[in-house]
Chain A
């Protein structure tokens, strides 16, 4: 499911990143800079992919030897409705109309683990894609749109599906490490649904950026799940954060509304593709996140 067109890693001429404001895009820019790779991050204020003129604008920017990383998407916090879905698909339509005719060195599409069925007890890259809501439908549709467009221009496509990403710079207040840290630091309290039994795989944003960097360096094609393969319950994550923050953080349990679901990832493909890639253990990543959050708030 993942093939390296370049067995030996090499630097691309340039990486164009769509979605400059995003949490992951910023981490990727930093990572590429740290490895001496030239990159340009393009935000919606420069090229708004929802608008038809984005095709021309991006066409003028994109060079034949560029690697294009697509992180742009309206995330669920911007809306879960049909209008948001259509805007996201409009972006993909414009990208496709460019990529069908103008190829580049490689396209990397940042998808989501939401594309996989919630019923799968162990997710791997070959797992069935099944939409559970309009957001996951959007990513599934975009993946297909890009597969079709890049095949026309014979551009290598790599689809990266990250599991739950955490890191200090995340602006989303989603349930998990990001929200737990904020409430622990602000109110000395972490609130869980039920007892936080749900098991999830959490990955540090810098690790996802490094994995994308490896896909770029090897011009990988196919699908890669950016996941650690080590899943923990939200309760375990909350306990780790409470211990890191200290100062008598309490864990509060609220009645849950939905059924308990778990999500595990099989890391086999990743460890075969990148055998010496070292992941940051969750407690180490959370400690780093805490250090960054508290140093930011102290400034």
Chain B
């Protein structure tokens, strides 16, 4: 493979991943409004060999981390230099920015009209599970967009020193973050969150709303908001 092809192959893989995620995000949002359930649709797509069993079909909170964004910027620069139509790349970037604020919009739609100064619990601060990285993390964006409100957060690995926000207090455990909270927002799908007893969450919280984009918690008795549902 020539040098140019090798460079572009790496970028092409990332573009295809982004296009899959963006398509999944767009259709998952339509599911949220129509009563369809994306988790029922995605398996059918995986059976189609043109899409495949390992396709990126899990809806998320936009592109984070930095590498994918970097490659999208590169494609736009190349398209601009050589006169190729790259509007679809701009659309992916716009969709990513839009999806990253999904939890914020849910909070304003469901919680704030009923509770003007809620205590907010946030689980997960890193941009994805199994990483220390907070780069382009939707959780950090969320916290900065909620400056007037008191937030208590827990993350299994992110440390005190890496996060600076006047409205944020870090809790020692996930359950401690929920103490007297009106709403719980799960921003990173750490596996350990799914192992926490929902009854204990219920006992800690005052409110009954969980914004759980990735559907990591099973929470009977709560208004449970999840991407694609």
Q: Which residues of A contact B (CB under 8 A)?
A: 122, 124, 126, 229-230, 266-268, 271-272, 275-276, 278, 281
Contacts and interface: CB of A to CB of B under 8 A. Distances in A.
A267 B94 contact: no
Given A275-B148, A278-B116, 20 more contacts: A122-B98, A126-B94, A229-B108, A229-B109, A230-B109, A266-B98, A267-B105, A268-B98, A268-B101, A268-B104, A268-B105, A271-B104, A272-B101, A272-B145, A275-B145, A275-B146, A275-B147, A275-B149, A276-B148, A276-B149
Contacts of B146: 275
Interface size class of B (residues with CB under 8 A): 10 to 19
B112 interface: yes
A224 to B, nearest CB: 15
Interface of B: 94, 98, 101, 104-105, 108-109, 112-113, 116-117, 145-149
B113 A267 contact: no
B104 A272 contact: yes
A276 B108 CA distance: 9
A276 B115 CA distance: 11
B108 A267 contact: yes
Contacts, number: 34
Contact of A278 (B101, B105, B112, B149): B112
A126 B96 CA distance: 14
B98 to A, nearest CB: 6
Contact of A271 (B94, B108, B116, B117): B108
B116 A281 contact: no
Contacts of A276: 116-117, 148-149
11 contacts: A229-B105, A266-B98, A268-B98, A271-B108, A271-B145, A272-B101, A275-B145, A275-B146, A275-B147, A275-B148, A275-B149
A99 to B, nearest CB: 32
Contacts of B101: 268, 272
Nearest to A122: B98
Contacts of B147: 275
B142 to A, nearest CB: 10
Contacts of B105: 229, 267-268, 271
Contacts of A275: 145-149
A231 to B, nearest CB: 11
Nearest to A281: B113
Contacts of B109: 229-230
A281 B114 CA distance: 11
Nearest to B167: A275
